[in-house]
């Protein structure tokens, strides 16, 4: 699919329509815009001026260099660059409006477990910039990223994105690539990306478009060769460390995020892979106007010079914040000179790992640097953030009317904004009808202004220093990328695919068939007489308890790794918990039922087959019991964060359930008897007896029968068999209780995940 085309553009100027861009010649596919949004032009714009990209209603791609507007002619070429992440226009329009993000964090202090980790850390990253956070191990880099992504509470300070405080809407939009690679280990890389695309790309994109997008990301991150390899873990080898890292980034890149936070993306990579990854990110930031923050340990000098800005941390405090190319001057200024040919990254890290006195000197020099004129004004103590306007509407939108005037819809309490088209080089030879305008600066702060051309009805963003977003739409920003139905469908498929190798593993098959045959042989063709009654009951009790334990502990052990993945996905706002929960139940249902059914098919006919209806009803109760046990296991697994605790609780519950099931102990003291009503096995076992002994040939009395009724008749009715065990509920009541168990534990599991174990 050709994503990259070479285009030549002219600016047509006429008295009636003013200046606008027209394609002078188009080679390749029309509409395949390959630069996302307005960017500070690099390619084809040697002057480094703003390049505008927009789409007309006819789907044409317009690129104009503002600098050249006055010259009436623009030639912009965007050449193929396989390392850049570009989104084809027809896909990009589905990914939502392009929203460059300016990240400002000021005076951030964080305490974790009563230990102060970060103190008064500040910084600004603008769209198109790559900020590196560096510092010795344990200095607080990850904690800072956690704070910037809204995953930990600030003691003081603020985090603003496009001048809005970090809120739920932004948290969902931030892409945070964690240091650990959290995936379903049995899925291949391609399957992982496909599911992520189907879940996180909007419903307005077709399946084919989503898959094309996956292909593109795989191509960009050079993952073709390993796309069909499983992710793997320490038990089963899969992707290499570097491939996992890139897979992690690929999953996040799918949604075309405006702000990316990456924790140690180069750790575990060789120098070439690290360089290639960082140049991808650099390109991504530059060409797509993205804001990227990475933490790095010890970058090579090549990588170091790729960064635009550096935040150097030392014991949780800022040791340097500013342009990378000025860090050497900063250290020179305090008498610490880098030796020639020495990697500046190594040098500065050595300094911040030096003596206490040296570190104090660096930190205090960094504090003094705040008085320098080039220090970002947003970080100055007297900067008034959004106290004048409320956070939401610091951004404002203006409309360019057909008469050439600009109408501004700013909030009443905003300071006056002077929109200066001259300032924006946008006269285009016709002052009455400027094509594009940018905001100017008020006394204290620049205000983000998007100017909408009435004839195109489309917002463009700009600012002479930084970029604002198109208007934030509040609540709809919190809506999910896909419908409940899509989420349910995709998650069910993923659950099925992910759980199948685990639940239907070769070992589980061997265990099931082996036990089925063994149980069949042990209780082979039992006669229907009192002497064999205990054995028939033994088969039933063994079957119900075995599958209870199998399902309960299966659910218990599989949930902790799954919790990691769903927490990560929930934090990124990928889907509703309810969709996941329902999908988990439905997706795993066929797998949960397969092995007990196989066991039943093998062992029951060996025991003695009466009728298909008995066979099927017994199977139904065995399966119901298994599903109930699975729900209890899932509930315990979801509630307990500590595996040891959950195993202890489960062992206690399942063993008590067996003891009170009605087979092992029949003369239970009255004060303990109530416990049998909490035993799910009790109900399933009773029902199996009711079904088995109600149909077919009756159970014949023994010559020395222990049943009183045998004094008057030759066979034992089912009621008498159950009475011995102290059970008196009918079939329907036992079934109802089992269904209630199922419902209650499923609902409890959901409530725990929704309210008590929310990812933070």
Ligand X SMILES: Nc1ncnc2c1ncn2[C@@H]1O[C@H](COP(=O)(O)OP(=O)(O)OP(=O)(O)O)[C@@H](O)[C@H]1O
Q: Which residues bind ligand X (CB under 6 A)?
A: 112-113, 115, 117, 135, 137-143
> For ligand X, which is the closer residue by CB, 20 or 141?
141
> For ligand X, which is the closer residue by CB, 112 or 643?
112
> For ligand X, which is the closer residue by CB, 113 or 403?
113
Shortest distance in whole angstroms from residue 132 CB to ligand X: 13
Shortest distance in whole angstroms from residue 180 CB to ligand X: 11
Shortest distance in whole angstroms from residue 658 CB to ligand X: 40
Shortest distance in whole angstroms from residue 313 CB to ligand X: 7
Shortest distance in whole angstroms from residue 243 CB to ligand X: 21
Question: Residues 6 or more apart from 468 whose CB is under 8 A from it?
Answer: 100, 102, 162, 163, 395, 439, 448, 449, 450, 461, 462
> For ligand X, which is the closer residue by CB, 120 or 203?
120
What are the CA-CA distances from residue 127 to residues 6, 282, 287, 293 (Å)? Answer: 25, 12, 10, 11
Shortest distance in whole angstroms from residue 141 CB to ligand X: 4
Shortest distance in whole angstroms from residue 177 CB to ligand X: 14
> For ligand X, which is the closer residue by CB, 63 or 152?
152
Q: End-to-end CA distance of the chain: give it in Å, rounded.
A: 40
Indicate the Cα dihedral angle 354, 357, 363, 368, nearest 10°.
-140
What are the CA-CA distances from residue 310 to residues 135, 139, 145, 340, 344 (Å)? Answer: 10, 15, 14, 20, 12
> For ligand X, which is the closer residue by CB, 182 or 586?
182
Instruction: Give the span between the Cα atoms of 35 and 98, in whole angstroms.
Output: 11
Strand intervals (E) in 144-184: 156-161, 164-165, 175-177
> For ligand X, which is the closer residue by CB, 112 or 601?
112
> For ligand X, which is the closer residue by CB, 112 or 736?
112
465 secondary structure, DSSP code: S
Residue 449 contacts residue 397 (beta carbons within 8 Å)? yes
**Helix locations, 398-476, DSSP H:** none
Indicate the Cα dihedral angle 744, 750, 752, 754, nearest 10°.
-150
Helices 643-659, 680-694: crossing angle, 10 deg rounding: 40
Pairing between strand 130-134 and 309-314? Answer: parallel
Shortest distance in whole angstroms from residue 139 CB to ligand X: 5
Q: Which residue has the tokens 């959290």?
A: 182
- CB half-sphere exposure, 598, CA atoms < 13 A: 15
> For ligand X, which is the closer residue by CB, 135 or 322?
135
> For ligand X, which is the closer residue by CB, 193 or 311?
311
Sign of the four-CA dihedral 641, 575, 248, 297? negative
> For ligand X, which is the closer residue by CB, 140 or 633?
140
Residue 662 contacts residue 686 (beta carbons within 8 Å)? yes
Q: List the strands of the sheet with 156-161, edge to edge.
A: 115-125, 103-112, 156-161, 164-165
Instruction: Give the span between the Cα atoms of 109 and 156, in whole angstroms.
Output: 5
> For ligand X, which is the closer residue by CB, 135 or 299?
135
Shortest distance in whole angstroms from residue 230 CB to ligand X: 27
Q: How many CB atoms lie within 10 A of CB 339?
A: 6
> For ligand X, which is the closer residue by CB, 70 or 179?
179
Of 220, 213, 169, 171, the closest CA to residue 194 belongs to 213
Shortest distance in whole angstroms from residue 267 CB to ligand X: 8
- CB half-sphere exposure, 507, CA atoms < 13 A: 4
Shortest distance in whole angstroms from residue 675 CB to ligand X: 40
Shortest distance in whole angstroms from residue 350 CB to ligand X: 16
> For ligand X, which is the closer residue by CB, 2 or 138?
138
For residue 729, the cross-strand partners are none
**Long-range Cβ contacts of 562-567 (<8 Å, 24+ apart):** 562/184, 563/637, 563/638, 563/757, 564/182, 565/182, 565/183, 565/184, 567/759
Shortest distance in whole angstroms from residue 135 CB to ligand X: 6
Residue 447 CA, chain-centre distance (Å), reads 33
Shortest distance in whole angstroms from residue 241 CB to ligand X: 16
């Amino acid at each position: 699919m050709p994503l990259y085309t070479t285009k030549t553009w002219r600016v047509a100027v006429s008295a009636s329509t003013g200046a606008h861009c027209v394609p002078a010649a188009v080679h390749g596919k029309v509409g395949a815009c390959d630069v996302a949004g307005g960017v500070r032009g690099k390619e084809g714009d040697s002057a480094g001026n703003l390049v505008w990209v927009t789409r007309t209603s006819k789907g044409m791609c317009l690129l104009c260099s503002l600098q050249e507007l006055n010259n009436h002619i623009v030639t912009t070429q965007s050449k193929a660059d396989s390392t850049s992440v570009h989104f084809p226009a027809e896909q990009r329009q589905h990914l939502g409006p392009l929203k460059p993000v300016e990240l400002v964090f000021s005076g951030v202090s964080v305490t974790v477990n009563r230990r102060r980790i970060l103190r008064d850390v500040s910084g600004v990253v603008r769209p198109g910039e790559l900020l590196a956070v560096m510092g010795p191990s344990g200095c607080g880099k990850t904690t800072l990223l956690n704070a910037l992504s809204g995953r930990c509470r600030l003691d003081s300070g603020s985090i603003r994105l496009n001048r809005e405080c970090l809120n739920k809407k932004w948290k969902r939009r931030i892409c945070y690539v964690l240091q650990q690679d959290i995936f379903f280990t049995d899925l291949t890389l391609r399957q992982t990306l496909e599911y992520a695309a189907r879940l996180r790309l909007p419903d307005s994109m077709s399946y084919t478009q989503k898959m094309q997008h996956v292909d593109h990301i795989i191509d960009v991150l050079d993952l073709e060769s390993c796309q069909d390899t499983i992710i793997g873990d320490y038990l089963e080898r899969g992707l290499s460390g570097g491939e996992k890292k890139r897979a992690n980034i690929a999953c996040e890149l799918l949604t075309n995020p405006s702000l990316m936070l990456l924790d140690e993306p180069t750790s575990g990579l060789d120098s070439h892979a690290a360089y290639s990854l960082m140049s991808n990110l650099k390109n991504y930031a530059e060409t797509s106007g993205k804001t990227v923050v990475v933490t790095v340990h010890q970058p090579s000098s090549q990588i170091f010079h790729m960064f635009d800005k550096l935040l150097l941390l030392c014991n949780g405090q800022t040791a340097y914040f500013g342009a990378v190319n000025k860090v050497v001057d900063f250290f020179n200024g305090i008498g610490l000179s880098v030796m020639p040919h020495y990697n500046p990254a190594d040098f500065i890290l050595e300094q911040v790992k030096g003596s206490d006195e040296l570190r104090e000197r660096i930190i205090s020099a960094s504090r003094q640097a705040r008085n320098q004129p080039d220090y970002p004004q947003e970080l100055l103590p007297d900067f008034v953030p959004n106290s004048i306007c409320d956070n939401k509407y610091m951004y404002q939108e203006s409309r360019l009317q057909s008469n050439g005037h600009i109408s501004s819809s700013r909030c009443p309490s905003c300071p006056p904004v002077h929109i200066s088209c001259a300032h924006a080089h946008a006269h285009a030879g016709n002052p009455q009808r400027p094509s594009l305008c940018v905001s100017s600066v008020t006394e204290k702060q620049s205000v983000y202004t998007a100017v909408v051309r009435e004839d195109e009805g489309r917002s463009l963003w700009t600012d002479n220093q930084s970029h604002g977003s198109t208007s934030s739409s509040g609540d709809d920003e919190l809506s999910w990328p896909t419908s409940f139905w899509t989420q349910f469908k995709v998650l069910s498929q993923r659950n099925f695919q992910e759980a199948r190798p685990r639940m239907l593993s070769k070992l589980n098959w061997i265990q099931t068939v082996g036990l089925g045959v063994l149980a069949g042989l042990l209780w082979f063709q039992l006669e229907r007489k009192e002497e064999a009654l205990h054995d028939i009951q033994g088969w039933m009790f063994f079957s119900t308890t075995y599958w209870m334990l199998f399902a309960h502990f299966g659910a218990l052990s599989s949930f902790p790794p799954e919790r990691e993945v769903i927490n990560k996905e929930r934090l990124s706002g990928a889907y509703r918990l309810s969709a996941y929960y329902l999908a988990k139940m439905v997706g795993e249902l066929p797998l949960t039922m397969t092995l007990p059914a196989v066991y039943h098919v093998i062992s029951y006919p060996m025991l003695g087959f009466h009728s298909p209806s008995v066979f099927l009803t017994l199977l139904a109760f065995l399966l119901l019991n298994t599903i109930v046990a699975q729900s209890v296991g899932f509930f315990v697994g979801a509630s307990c964060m500590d595996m040891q605790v959950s195993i202890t609780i489960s062992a206690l519950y399942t063993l008590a359930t067996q003891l009170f099931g009605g087979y092992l102990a029949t003369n239970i003291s009255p004060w303990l008897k109530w416990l049998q009503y909490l035993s799910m096995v009790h109900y399933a076992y009773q029902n199996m007896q009711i079904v088995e002994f109600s149909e077919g040939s009756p159970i014949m009395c023994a010559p020395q029968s222990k049943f009183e009724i045998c004094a008057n008749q030759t066979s034992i009715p089912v009621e008498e068999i159950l009475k011995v065990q102290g059970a008196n509920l009918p079939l329907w009541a036992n079934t109802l209780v089992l269904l209630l168990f199922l419902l209650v534990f499923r609902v409890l599991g959901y409530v725990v995940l929704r309210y008590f174990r929310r990812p933070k």
